[in-house]
Copies of this chain bind each other. A is one copy, B any other.
């Protein structure tokens, strides 16, 4: 319904004033239409909208937001290691934010760069900052303090134990407890830990859960579980798991069950065991963590722990929205997500 060919290439318009001149209205009138203010004739509104689609003009967001309108943007800082579960959380979160009208600014953490990333977020006047994954604890704590100083809501997903941070995290201790109970009921008494050192702050939760499950059965951690993490380099997880399992196979009495930090490591280990002639689960049991897609592509299907990403993000959104609505909480909000054990084919009754 528009005009003829002469208007096929409408001019490039970069300000409301220019746009108003183009359609022969006052700048203020255009602004009123754009901001849905009352008291305008329908025909005028239509005229503006029509010219809008014709020229493709968009008001300068910087001027709009400078004027004090809420930026409706959220900063998201991602852990350096982009694993499938992390990316799935990001994608789910971004979708939900978008449906609530928020834009997300995404930055990937690089060593020592968190300060600059946060400054960028703050200069963009984001309404909240979310961290997803695991970071340097001291650095993260400093960032959280800065955010609080700026009265900007914060949220940490996954990383657990930062004093003043609002946190949503999987109960990894509980996960390991359930996994160990499962293996113990199958008769296993000797365990190989893959990627889970016995003494390391970052794996504390997992070890805690393992120890608790063993204790409940009257067993002692150092007596029946070993870890060779120090001996191998962790570069590519799959090969890491492969190398670790080979270490265990050199023992006089290898463990009957292997508990891995994640699915890739578990699969690498399964591969090494199978190459050594062990059937799974008849000869040895293997467990993963994360319940990634590959778990159902293996033979046998991998027993693992599901991170419950949907509920995690749902909870995260609740924590976030409550902060955006009611302001920052007096005490940090802590939410724990219950994991779900997924028993498949890679675990079975202990051989001896």
Chain A residues close to B by CB (< 8 Å)? 9-10, 12, 56, 58-66, 71, 82, 84, 87, 91, 94-95, 103-106, 108, 119-120, 122-125, 146, 149-151, 236, 238, 264, 267-268, 271, 274, 293-294, 296-299
Contacts and interface: CB of A to CB of B under 8 A. Distances in A.
The 7 closest A-B pairs by CB, nearest first: A61-B123, A58-B123, A62-B66, A62-B62, A58-B122, A62-B65, A61-B124
A56 B106 contact: no
A59 B125 CA distance: 10
Contacts of A94: 108
Given A58-B119, A60-B125, A297 B274 contact: no
A293 B238 contact: yes
Contact of A268 (B10, B104, B146, B297): B297
Contacts of A125: 60-62
Chain A residues touching B, majority SS: helix
A104 to B, nearest CB: 8
B56 A150 contact: yes
Given A64-B123, A103-B120, 12 more contacts: A9-B149, A58-B122, A58-B123, A60-B66, A62-B63, A62-B66, A82-B91, A105-B105, A236-B293, A271-B299, A294-B294, A297-B298
Contacts of A120: 103
A122 B274 contact: no
B56 A146 contact: yes
